Every structure is written in C-alpha cells, then in structure tokens.
Structure 1
C-alpha cells in the first residue's frame, strides 16, 4: 500500500479552506466520466459572475467511459491543487472513474494547497479520500455541465457561490417548495460525511472507506431501484458503518417512490435511535444544494434544520 496513506488518519475537526475571492479563478477538471464541453458557454457563465475559468487538459479527452486515462485524470487533480493561480476546483461531471486512482493521490500535495473542491455522485470517492487523508473541508455541490450550465433552479448556483465565498449563514437554507420529512426525532452534532450511497458502499473494505465515528451521515443516489437501496443500506449496517453514526441526513433518491423509500429508511435507521431528516435537496436533483463535507454541523430533525458549527472557508489575505 502506498505509504502516503498507510496509516488511517482520523480528523476530529476538518480545516476550513481559503474562500473563493471575487474575480477568482475556478479550475475545471474531469476526474470521472467524459462529457461534451462547451468552452464558450462555460467562459460566459464564469465571466457573468465575475470569475475566471481555467480548463485542465483532461476535460477535452475521452477514453471509453472515462474522461481520459487514469494518469491524465490524476495529473489534472494534482495540477489543479498545486496551481496557486487556481482558487477553487469544480468537477465537470460524475459518471465513473474516481476510485481507480485513489491509491495514487498525493495527499501531502493536497494538504499543502487546500482549496474548495466541488462535485458529487462518483466524486463522493474523492470527498471520502480527501477528508480522510488531507483533512480539509470539501463540498458536495453543483458540477459545471449537469448543474450550472444545465440551468438548474437558482438555489443551486446561489448556495454554491455563497458557500465558497464565505457568505453562507450558519443555518443552511433549504427551499420551502420542497418540504422535509422527520423520519426520526432528535438533534445531534458531528462531522457531515457521506455522499452517493453506492460510492460509500463501494469503498467499504478499502483504505478510503467512510470514517463513521460520530458523524452526521449524508446519503443520496440516483436511478437505484428500491431493492438496491435496501441492499446498500443493509451493506452499510452489516459492515458496521451505522452503529457509531450520530444522525442521518437523507438527500434526493431520484427515481425512487418517496413513500416506499421513507418506509425502508424507517425500518433500517429507526432502530439506531438517532435523528433522521429526509428530503434534503442535494444530489442528482433540481435544485442541488451545496453541503460542506467534513464540516462540523448540528442536525435538528425536530426543527428540520442543518446548522454549521464551524467556519468552512476563510478569507484570503
């Protein structure tokens, strides 16, 4: 095993990252699947919001179901973090491929150059790895192609930019048009960790598996039939990944009947006697609200609130 992460790291507190400044540079990488990239639209989007765009080479490549080879995608990840002109890193899309190069990530390099890193879906593997071995907050949030250039509802963009720029209030706003459901009452604090449920389960048994000690677990997924969601939750439970969780925030499960999903969640999570709040609009949904992975938060299922208990970005000097 690569010595850079041979000894598991347990961060009780994850460090804030430098905020995205006005006029800052946003680097775009494609660490997972390929996608058509419209440079003109992306540049226009950035400039309209006062930012500059830097596109890393792998965005233009395609290797079957991957956006370039593992070496190309890993190089872009390293280069984007190492580049001191880049203020934040935005993934182009998810798909598949991040798990293929996790053991080759230079976490020492990342620790020397912390900055906002944003994505979801397959990018969950990178969130789990970075929070575990680099120890700074990352962001489960909008990606360039599917979300920002896909014209998702305004809270998608505003929640991302508020979070990265340091303008996000402690109480995370959730759109009133999408009611939340308290599946189990109570309030609890812990580090917010998780992401795509399939990817969380895919890393179990590896050096990059979910560090579940005292966390608020966030889960979401897309196009998984209910029986597969059942299987994934059962896998988490039987792998011992639910017993130390302090609370669960359930994001969007696109393609699953909500009432049947909630019944399953009550069956699986109810015996844990921890707060469970469902319906949070983060994941493969519209709008897609940004969440800070690794940040210390308070989940209040009774008040249906998620509150930041630490600073997640700091102003650059």
Structure 2
C-alpha cells in the first residue's frame, strides 16, 4: 500500500528540550498518591535534575489531589514558571477533565514545555493538542512508573525523548521481548493523537474532543473488559471519529486477552483499509514507553515500525 500524504498543517510545534541539570516540576492534576518526597528528590538528583514539588501533590480532597483550584493553580504555575524545564504528573486516577474549561490556554501557548503523563492525563493531552498547539508526551508518571521500578526502557525512553536524543527520522525503539502484531498492514503518516480510550470517549461532544482528521490514532486502556472496549470503539465510530483516520497504534489494553482484542480491532478497522499495529508498550504496563502526542509520525504496520517524522523538542 503506498504511503498516504502528510497532513503537515496538523503537526504540532516542538517544545524546548529538557536541558542537563534542569528543573522538573511535579504536579497532581488528577488523583492523590502517597509520595516519599525525599526518595523522589533523590531519584531526580541522581539523574542530574532538581525536582520542584507543587502544593497539590501533598493534598487530598476525597478522590482528588486537592481542590480544583489548587490543581489548576499548580498546572498554571508549572507552565508559567520560567525555571521549570519540564512537567511530570504524579499519577492518573480521576480529576483532569474537571479542569479543562478553566485552563488558560494562552498562558500555555506562551510557555510551551514538555508535559508528561497518561491515563486520566489524556484529557489534558487532548486539550493541549486542540487549544495550545504544541507537542506533549504520553509517558511515565512519577509515582507508579519512574519510582515504581519499571523496566529500564521506561526511563530511557522518557529521558531520550525529552532531551532530544530521538530526532526526526528516528525509529522509536520497541523492546524485542514484547513482539508487536500487525492487525492491518500498510503505511501511513500523520500526527499521533490520542491516549486513554475511555478518556477520549468521555470528551466527545465537548470543546476538548479529539480531532481525528488525517491522524494516527493512539489508544490504550486498563480495567475495561473486551465488551467495553468494543462499546468505546463503537462510540467513536458513531461519532464519526474513525472516518478520517490514517492509521491506528494500539498500546497496552491491560486485562484483555490480546488475541480477542486483535480480532475486535480487525473487525472495527478492516473496513477502513488503514494500517493498524497493536501491542505497543505504552500505558498501564511495564515498560511504559513515551510517545509524542501531536507529533508527525510514520506508521508502517507491516514492518511493525513507528518513525518520528519531525523533531519534538528543540535546543
């Protein structure tokens, strides 16, 4: 199948690279988690970075890490602070969607920087992608991933991406211990957008819903049985969000039989005649590899390869 034309206008702007001895801001825009702050700071120091912990990280308001105002102030403060070189989220859970209509996107546009998280943080990736226009990163969070002892590719992919060691034209490495599966062969190019499938579906019909025209859709999920994955994909189909896709990259769908998942993916996407690659280790899994949301990529499902087609950070 010939490569499909590039939607260059949809590619998002790169952000400043994470510099050596920089400052990483830690925020909790979603749920709370107990954090050993000394361990966290020491972990970052051992890798050459200073960790700046924002107030909401130490708070809890039921299932939220602090009130909406505290979490919003931390998000705004981390982007506005010129000393913060990158922003990492504490954990997912729930809470990010409550902030969407309160975010000052002009502030974010004036202060682009690497922003990293996954799961519930997908809501913020979708909003940044649609309303701020710069690349963000679906990648490890501090508590469960970086401090949680996940396999070495997790940390390496995180730092290599943010430091700019993965450049335009580079294949995104994937560990051979976790083979990928071609659901539908073919080659396509477009911006990589998406994240957690449940969060993508929950924002449909809002000003923060995903724009799928001419893109490579990335999806992952956890604690959703196969019939719910089917329901979520059908929701996207009925909302017209599958019609303009150029390709699909499927990350980890934790708790679902992989063979049954691939059969469902084939049923959903085969009529669209687009490449579909499944099994990418990104999401609620170990390792949890960093992906650039909004960046131009080339997906070769037959060769089981994903190539970066633009620089995602600049120095």
TM-score normalised by length of structure 2: 0.96
Matches within 5 A, 1:278-289: 278-289=278-289
Separation in structure 1 between the aligned mates of residue 135 and residue 21 of structure 2, nearest angstrom: 22
Separation in structure 2 between the aligned mates of residue 24 and residue 204 of structure 1, nearest angstrom: 37
Cα contact 2:171–2:307 (8 A) shared by 1: yes
Match for residue 228 of structure 1?
A: 228
Secondary structure at the aligned position of 2:10 is classed as: coil
Secondary structure at the aligned position of 1:297 is classed as: strand
Match for residue 261 of structure 1?
A: 261
Cα contact 2:237–2:243 (8 A) shared by 1: yes
Match for residue 153 of structure 1?
A: 151
Cα contact 2:32–2:65 (8 A) shared by 1: yes
Alignment partner for residue 13 of structure 2, among 12, 15, 28? 15
Match for residue 74 of structure 2?
A: 76
Match for residue 307 of structure 2?
A: 307
Please list every run of 5 or more consecutive structure 2 residues that lacks an aligned counterpart in the other structure. Answer: 1-7
Separation in structure 1 between the aligned mates of residue 175 and residue 264 of structure 2, nearest angstrom: 25
* Residue 175 (structure 2) pairs with residue 186 (structure 1): no
Separation in structure 1 between the aligned mates of residue 262 and residue 277 of structure 2, nearest angstrom: 10
CA drift at 1:200: 0.2
Secondary structure at the aligned position of 2:122 is classed as: helix
Match for residue 208 of structure 1?
A: 208
Alignment partner for residue 26 of structure 2, among 25, 28, 45? 28
Separation in structure 1 between the aligned mates of residue 117 and residue 256 of structure 2, nearest angstrom: 22
Question: Which 4+ stretches in 1 moved above 4 angstroms?
Answer: none
CA drift at 1:13: 2.2
Cα contact 1:43–1:53 (8 A) shared by 2: yes
Cα contact 2:11–2:190 (8 A) shared by 1: no
Cα contact 1:11–1:132 (8 A) shared by 2: no
CA drift at 1:269: 1.0
Please list every run of 5 or more consecutive structure 1 residues that lacks an aligned counterpart in the other structure. Answer: 1-9
Match for residue 3 of structure 1?
A: none
Count of paired positions: 306
* Cα displacement string for residues 165-192 of structure 1 (whole angstroms, at most 9, x for unaligned residues): 0011411000000000000010000000
Cα contact 1:122–1:196 (8 A) shared by 2: yes
Separation in structure 2 between the aligned mates of residue 47 and residue 100 of structure 1, nearest angstrom: 33
TM-score normalised by length of structure 1: 0.96
State the superposition RMSD in angstroms: 0.9
* Cα displacement string for residues 196-227 of structure 1 (whole angstroms, at most 9, x for unaligned residues): 00000000000000011100000000010111
Cα contact 2:188–2:275 (8 A) shared by 1: yes
Cα contact 2:197–2:219 (8 A) shared by 1: yes
CA drift at 1:302: 1.1
